[in-house]
């Protein structure tokens, strides 16, 4: 019983940390990163497809993203998708490729982004605390029904807390790295 709960705990915490990391990766920090365009969908071939399915994305230098469409006829649709997104970026078709210059961030925008990543990190921590509560409730029920002893329950709860602490530290380090990236 306890090993299954621990396995579930680790799986759910890992998923939560990955989700938090992914949400932070798509935030524009003034530095070119293909992850900025992860959520972008392009209207082409009668459907809305993820950009990754219609083009290759690279960052040849810190202030430029280059998109190489697999089908050159989709370049204009990619430009429209970038410009209509909430990223605040301008794109231009340059022959078979699309170029997106990444502008420098203002101090006001940096403060706003730092607040935004802090909120994302707190949501991640809250998610982890909710997972801890669920697992601890399961342990308490198991102890109450006699499936595990009180000692086993307490040891398992200590293990749960160790996993939660480790995941919280991981989220904090992701946050710290992102804030450092935002500050430039």
Domain boundaries, the chain: 2-25+106-183, 34-101
CATH of 34-101, one of 3.30.360.10, 2.60.40.420, 3.20.20.150, 3.30.1360.40: 3.30.1360.40
As a dihedral over the C-alpha atoms of residue 116, residue 162, residue 149, residue 130, rounded to 10 degrees, the angle is 0
Average pLDDT, the chain: 90
Rounded-to-integer distance, Cα 172 and Cα 137, Å = 26
Residues 18 and 124: their CA atoms lie apart, in Å, by 9
Q: Is the pTM of this model over 0.75?
A: no
In CATH terms, the superfamily for domain 2-25+106-183 is Ribosome-recycling factor (1.10.132.20)
Please report which confidence band the pLDDT of residue 94 belongs to, taking 50, 70 and 90 as the band edges. Answer: confident
- Mean pLDDT on 63-88: 88
């Amino acid at each position: 019983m306890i090993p299954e709960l621990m396995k579930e705990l680790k799986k759910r915490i890992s998923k939560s940390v990955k989700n938090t990391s992914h949400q932070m990766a798509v935030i524009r920090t003034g530095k070119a990163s293909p992850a900025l365009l992860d959520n972008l969908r392009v209207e082409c071939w009668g459907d809305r497809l993820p950009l990754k399915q219609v083009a290759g994305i690279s960052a040849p230098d810190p202030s430029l993203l280059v998109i190489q469409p697999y089908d050159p006829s989709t370049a204009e649709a990619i430009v429209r998708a970038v410009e209509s997104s909430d990223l605040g970026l301008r794109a231009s078709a340059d022959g078979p490729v699309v170029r997106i210059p990444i502008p420098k961030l203002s101090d006001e925008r940096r403060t706003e982004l730092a607040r935004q990543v802090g909120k994302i990190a707190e949501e991640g921590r809250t998610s982890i605390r909710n997972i801890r509560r669920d697992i601890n409730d399961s342990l308490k029920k198991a102890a109450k029904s006699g499936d595990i002893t009180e000692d086993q329950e307490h040891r398992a709860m200590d293990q749960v807390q160790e996993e939660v602490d480790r995941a919280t530290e991981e989220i904090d380090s992701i946050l710290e790295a992102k804030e450092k990236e935002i500050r430039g």
